[in-house]
C-alpha cells in the first residue's frame, strides 16, 4: 500500500493507460505546460510531450467536439474542461453528438472518450464555478457517469473508463484533490456499476458519492453515539448504477437517506429516490430522504455557501428524523 | 485630437484609482482577508479608462472575470466593490457574487463574468435594446485575447455587424489566456484582423497609452451612436500579476514582465500631464493622497460591514419566488 492524493490518483490512472496505449491522449485548457488548473496533469506534459498532452484554446465546443471526432475514428481522447460549469459551452457536442452518434447510426460507431469535469462547491468560487450537474449527464441516454471519492477509486475508475468504448463523464470533486488515501501498489480496474460499501450497518442506508462520502461517514460516526448503525454506500458509478447493492442494503435496513451536493430539485438524488420507491418500496418503513443543497445558485460569501451546501450534521438530522 | 484637460485629469485619476484598488486587493488576498478567485487588472488600467472616458452614464459595458478595472472606470463605487470582495452584505451583490461577479445596473455595468466569452453576446443584446428603443446609447464589450477563440466572439460580431448594432468590442490583448500564450492559442497576432470577416472597422492600438485608447474609442462610439454599427478595437497590453492571485506564472519568459513594466501606462500619462502642464507635480501628489484615503475608506467600510444574514441565501433567485431555506 502507498499514500496518494485524489488528484494524483486521477493522474496515475491516465498515465498507466497512456503508457500502455499510444492512442490515449489528453487535451484541454492549461492542462499542459501549467499542469492543469488544479495540478492534476502536472508532469504529464514533460513526460509525454506536447503531442499527447495538449493545451487548447478556450473553446469548450471544440474541445468536446474534437474529442468526439477523434474518438469516432479510433483514438481514445481524454478531454478536460476546467470546471463542470463550462460543460454548458460544449453541451451540444456532448449531448447531441457524443451521446447519440452510436445509436443514431445504428450502432456503427464507438466513441471511447473520457471527459474530465471538476465539480462542486466549497471553495468560494461562486455561482459559475461551483455547481454539481451530475443529473444533467445521467439524464442523457448514451453517456456513462462516474464520480470517484478517493485516490484508489480514481485510479480504478479511470482505467476502466479509458478502456470503455462509450463516452464517459468522469466527475471530480475539487475539494478532494489534496485529500490523501491508501492505494494498492497495483490498482485493478473497477468495473462500472459496482458500488462500494464504505461502512456496514443495520439501521439505515446512506447512499452517496464524491465528497459527500466523507460527510456521510462522519455522520455515521456521530449516529453511532446515538445507537444508530448506519450503512454508507459510495456509488462510485452513477450510470451504470449498482441497483443490487442499493436494494440489498435497503432490504437489511429498511431506511434510506440519499446525500448529494446538487441543488435538490431535479437532482440525481431524486432519481435514486424514485428508483427505490419504484422497485423497492415495500422494503422501506420510512420516507426516503434526500440531503442536498438548497435550490439556489452557489453564493460567494463563506457563510452563505455553508448555509446552502449540505454537511454531516444535515445527514445526522435526516437519519434521526426516520426513527 | 485635442483632449480637454478635464478629461485628461479624469482619466489619470481613474487609472490611479484602479492601480491602488488592485494593489490593496492583492495585499488583502495575500493576508487571507479576501478569498475566492481574484483576477487583478494591474498593468492594463489604460484600457478600461480610455474606453469608459468616452461613455456616458447611460451607456453599457459588459465585463469579464478581470473586472475591477472596468467597473471602477465606468463609475463603480470602491466601497461597495471592496465590500463585495470581502463577501459582506453591503457589497454590490450582497456577498453573493464576489470579485468575479460585480455588477451595478445603475451605472450600466452588466456584470463581471465568470464564463469566458459570455459577455460578447450580452453586449450584442444591450446594443440591440438601444437600437430597438431608438436611443443613442452604446455598449462597450470588454474581453480578453483568449476569449476570441470562443464561438460566442464570432457569433456576437456577426450579429452586431449584420444588424449594425451600437457595440464597441474591446479586446484586451494581454498575450495570454491563463498559461497559454497568444502564439499557442491562435494563428494570428493582431486580433483586429478578425474584423475583416465581419466587414467592420478593426484597429489595433497601444493599450498602455490611455490617450490612444481614448481616441480610438471616441471614433467608434461616434459611429455607433449614428447607427453605423460596431467596431473591433484591440488594445495590446500586459497583466503584471498572475492570471489569478496565487498563480506562480511559470509560463512567462524571463524578462517579459520587466519589459512591459517599462511601458507602465501611469507614468506615461504623468509625463504627458507634466510636459503639457495639465497638472503640477504637487497637484498630482495631492490627487494620489486623496485616492489612497479613498481606498482605505473602502477597506474600512468593508471591514465594518456585516456578513450577510444566512436567510438572504434564498432571496434573489427569482423576482418573486423565495426558495425554501434550511429547516435544519
Ligand atoms: C467558458 C470558460 N472556459 C474557461 C474558463 C477558465 N478561464 C478563466 S479566465 C481564462 C483565461 C482568459 O483569458 P483571456 O480571455 O485572454 O482574459 P485574461 O485573463 O487574459 O484577461 C480561463 C481559461 C472560464 N472561466 N470560462
Ligand atoms: Mg488574455
The whole-chain average pLDDT of chain A stands at: 98
- pLDDT above 90 coverage of chain A, percent: 100
What is the reported pLDDT for B1?
A: 77
The residues facing B150 across adjacent strands are none
- Ligand 1 close to Cβ of residue A58 (< 6 A): yes
Q: B308: closest CA among B291, B325, B283?
A: B325
Q: Is the pLDDT of residue A22 over 90?
A: yes
CA distances, B28 to each of B22, B82, B100, B113 (Å): 10, 10, 16, 22
Length of chain A: 323
Question: What's the whole-number mean pLDDT along residues B192-219?
Answer: 98
A230 strand-pairing partners? A204
Main-chain phi, psi angles of A76, to 5 degrees: -125, 75
pLDDT tens digits along B242-263: 999 999 999 999 999 999 999 9
Residues A251 and A312 in one domain: yes
Domain boundary among A183, A206, A229: A183
A30:B179 CB<8 A: yes
Cβ <8 Å between A296 and B314 = yes
Which entry of A11, A17, A116, A129 is annotated as an active-site residue? A129
**Whether residue A169 is found in the same domain as residue A215:** no
CATH number at residue A161: 3.40.50.970
Contact A55 B184 (CB under 8 A): yes
Alpha carbon of residue A12 to chain centroid: 17
State in Å, rounded, how far the first CA of chain A is from the last one. 40
* Domains in chain A, number: 2
Question: Do A288 and A152 belong together in one domain?
Answer: no
Distance B166 CA to ligand 1 centre (A): 25
* Chain A CB contacts of B186 below 8 Å: 57
pLDDT at A316: 98
Indicate yes or no: pTM above 0.90: yes
Q: What is the pLDDT of residue B328?
A: 62
- Check A299 against B100: CB less than 8 A apart: no
Measured in angstroms, how far is the CA atom of residue A1 from the centroid of ligand 2? 44
Pocket perturbation via mutation, ligand 1, pick of B174, B178, B246 by most ligand atoms within 8 A of CB: B178
Ligand 1 atom with least separation from CA of B147? 15
* Shared domain check, A203 and A174: no
Place of cell 427569482: B318
* CATH architecture under which domain B5-303 falls: 3-Layer(aba) Sandwich (3.40)
Task: Give the whole-number percent of chain B exceeding pLDDT 70.
Answer: 100
A144, pLDDT greater than 80: yes
Is A258 a domain residue? yes
Q: In the predicted model, is pLDDT for residue B37 greater than 70?
A: yes
Closest C-alpha among A125, A58, A55, A50 to residue A299: A125
Residues A125, A214 within the same domain:
no
pLDDT tens-digit series, residues A293-304: 999 999 999 999
Neighbours of ion ligand 2 (CB under 5 A): B 144-146, 174, 176
Question: Residue B39: what pLDDT?
Answer: 98
**pLDDT band, very low/low/confident/very high, at A28 (cuts 50, 70, 90):** very high
Q: Within this chain, do residues A130 and A223 fall inside the same structural domain, yes or no?
A: no
pLDDT tens, position by position, A215-227: 999 999 999 999 9
Q: Are A243 and A270 in contact (CB under 8 A)?
A: no
**Position B327 confidence tier, pLDDT thresholds 50, 70, 90:** confident
Radius of gyration over alpha carbons of chain B, in Å? 20
pLDDT over threshold 70, residue B195: yes
State the Cα–Cα distance between residues A125 and B250, nearest whole angstrom: 23
A213 and A149 within one domain: no
- In terms of domains, do A6 and A154 share one? yes
Q: Whose C-alpha lies nearest to ligand 1, atom 19?
A: B177
Q: What is the pLDDT of residues A47-101, one digit of tens each?
A: 999 999 999 999 999 999 999 999 999 999 999 999 999 999 999 999 999 999 9
Hey, CA dihedral for A236, A242, A245, A248, is it positive or negative?
positive
Q: Taking the CB of residue A3, how many other CB atoms lie within 10 A of it? A: 10
Q: How confident is the model at residue A192 (pLDDT cuts 50, 70, 90)?
A: very high
CATH number of residue A269's parent domain: 3.40.50.920
Quick: pLDDT tens for B59-101.
999 999 999 999 999 999 999 999 999 999 999 999 999 999 9
In angstroms, the CA B145 to CA B192 distance is 10
- Please confirm, yes or no, whether A129 is among the known catalytic residues: yes
Question: How do residues B276-302 score in pLDDT, each as one tens digit?
Answer: 999 999 999 999 999 999 999 999 999
Structural domain including A111 reads 2-183
For ligand 1, is residue A305 a contact (CB within 6 Å)?
A: no
Residue B23 has pLDDT above 70, yes or no: yes
Last residue of a domain, one of A183, A218, A234: A183
Could you tell me the sign of the dihedral formed by the alpha carbons of B165, B168, B170, B171, in that order? positive
Q: pLDDT value at position B94? A: 98
The ipTM (two decimal places) reads 0.96
pLDDT of residue A11: 98
Nearest CA to ligand 1 atom 25: B115
Cis peptide before B120 (omega within 30 of 0): no
**Three-state SS at A261:** strand
Asked which of A157, A183, A209 is the last residue of a domain, the reply is A183
* The pLDDT value given to residue B206: 98
Q: If you average pLDDT over residues A186-214, what whole number do you get?
A: 98
Amino acid at each position: 500500500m502507498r499514500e496518494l492524493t485524489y488528484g494524483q490518483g486521477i493522474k496515475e490512472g491516465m498515465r498507466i493507460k497512456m503508457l500502455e496505449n499510444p492512442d490515449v491522449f489528453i487535451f484541454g485548457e492549461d492542462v499542459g505546460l501549467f499542469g492543469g488548473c488544479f495540478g492534476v496533469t502536472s508532469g504529464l506534459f514533460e513526460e509525454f510531450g506536447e503531442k499527447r498532452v495538449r493545451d487548447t484554446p478556450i473553446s469548450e465546443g471544440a474541445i468536446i467536439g474534437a474529442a468526439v471526432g477523434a474518438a469516432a475514428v479510433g483514438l481514445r481522447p481524454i478531454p478536460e474542461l476546467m470546471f463542470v460549469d463550462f460543460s454548458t459551452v460544449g453541451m451540444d457536442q456532448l449531448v447531441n453528438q457524443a451521446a447519440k452518434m452510436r445509436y443514431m447510426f445504428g450502432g456503427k460507431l464507438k466513441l471511447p472518450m473520457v471527459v474530465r469535469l471538476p465539480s462542486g462547491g466549497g471553495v468560494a468560487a461562486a455561482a459559475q464555478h461551483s455547481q454539481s450537474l451530475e443529473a444533467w449527464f445521467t439524464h442523457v441516454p448514451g453517456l456513462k457517469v462516474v464520480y470517484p471519492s478517493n485516490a484508489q477509486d480514481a485510479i480504478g475508475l479511470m482505467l476502466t473508463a479509458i478502456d470503455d468504448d462509450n463516452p464517459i463523464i468522469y466527475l471530480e470533486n475539487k475539494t478532494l484533490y489534496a485529500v490523501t488515501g491508501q492505494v494498492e501498489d497495483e490498482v485493478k480496474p473497477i468495473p462500472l456499476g459496482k458500488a462500494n460499501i464504505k461502512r456496514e450497518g443495520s439501521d439505515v442506508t446512506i447512499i452517496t458519492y464524491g465528497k459527500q462520502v466523507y460527510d456521510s461517514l462522519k455522520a455515521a460516526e456521530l449516529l453511532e453515539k446515538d445507537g444508530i448503525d448506519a450503512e454508507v454506500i459510495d456509488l462510485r458509478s452513477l450510470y451504470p448504477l449498482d441497483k443490487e447493492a442499493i436494494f440489498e442494503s435497503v432490504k437489511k435496513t429498511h431506511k434510506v437517506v440519499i446525500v448529494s451536493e446538487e441543488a435538490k430539485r431535479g437532482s440525481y438524488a431524486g432519481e435514486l429516490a424514485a428508483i427505490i420507491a419504484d422497485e423497492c418500496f415495500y422494503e422501506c418503513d420510512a420516507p426516503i430522504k434526500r440531503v442536498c443543497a438548497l435550490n439556489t445558485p452557489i453564493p460567494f460569501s463563506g457563510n452563505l455557501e455553508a448555509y446552502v451546501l449540505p454537511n454531516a450534521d444535515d445527514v445526522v438530522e435526516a437519519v434521526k428524523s426516520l426513527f | 485630437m485635442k483632449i480637454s484637460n478635464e478629461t485628461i485629469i479624469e482619466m489619470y485619476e481613474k487609472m490611479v484609482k484602479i492601480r491602488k484598488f488592485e494593489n490593496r486587493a492583492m495585499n488583502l488576498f495575500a493576508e487571507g482577508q479576501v478569498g475566492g478567485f481574484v483576477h487583478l487588472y494591474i498593468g492594463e488600467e489604460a484600457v478600461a479608462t480610455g474606453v469608459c472616458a468616452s461613455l456616458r452614464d447611460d451607456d453599457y459595458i459588459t465585463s469579464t472575470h478581470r473586472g475591477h478595472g472596468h467597473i471602477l472606470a465606468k463609475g463603480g463605487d470602491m466601497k461597495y466593490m471592496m465590500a463585495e470582495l470581502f463577501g459582506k452584505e453591503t457589497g454590490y451583490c450582497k456577498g453573493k457574487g464576489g470579485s468575479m461577479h460585480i455588477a451595478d445596473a445603475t451605472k450600466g455595468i452588466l456584470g463581471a463574468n465568470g464564463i469566458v466569452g459570455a459577455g460578447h453576446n450580452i453586449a450584442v443584446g444591450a446594443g440591440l435594446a438601444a437600437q430597438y428603443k431608438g436611443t443613442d446609447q452604446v455598449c462597450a464589450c470588454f474581453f480578453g485575447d483568449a476569449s476570441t477563440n470562443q464561438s460566442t466572439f464570432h457569433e456576437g460580431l456577426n450579429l452586431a455587424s449584420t444588424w449594425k448594432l451600437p457595440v464597441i468590442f474591446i479586446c484586451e490583448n494581454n498575450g495570454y489566456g491563463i498559461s497559454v500564450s497568444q502564439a499557442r492559442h491562435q494563428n494570428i497576432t493582431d486580433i483586429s484582423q478578425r474584423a475583416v470577416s465581419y466587414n467592420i472597422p478593426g484597429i489595433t492600438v497601444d493599450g498602455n497609452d490611455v490617450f490612444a485608447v481614448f481616441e480610438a474609442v471616441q471614433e467608434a462610439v461616434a459611429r455607433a451612436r449614428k447607427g453605423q454599427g460596431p467596431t473591433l478595437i484591440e488594445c495590446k497590453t500586459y497583466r503584471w500579476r498572475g492570471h489569478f492571485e496565487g498563480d506562480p506564472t511559470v509560463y512567462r519568459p524571463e524578462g517579459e514582465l520587466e519589459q512591459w513594466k517599462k511601458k507602465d501606462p501611469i507614468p506615461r500619462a504623468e509625463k504627458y500631464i507634466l510636459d503639457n502642464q495639465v497638472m503640477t507635480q504637487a497637484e498630482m501628489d495631492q490627487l494620489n493622497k486623496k485616492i489612497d484615503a479613498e481606498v482605505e475608506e473602502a477597506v474600512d467600510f468593508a471591514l465594518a460591514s456585516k456578513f450577510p444574514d444566512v436567510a438572504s441565501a434564498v432571496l434573489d433567485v427569482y423576482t418573486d419566488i423565495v426558495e425554501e431555506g434550511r429547516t435544519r
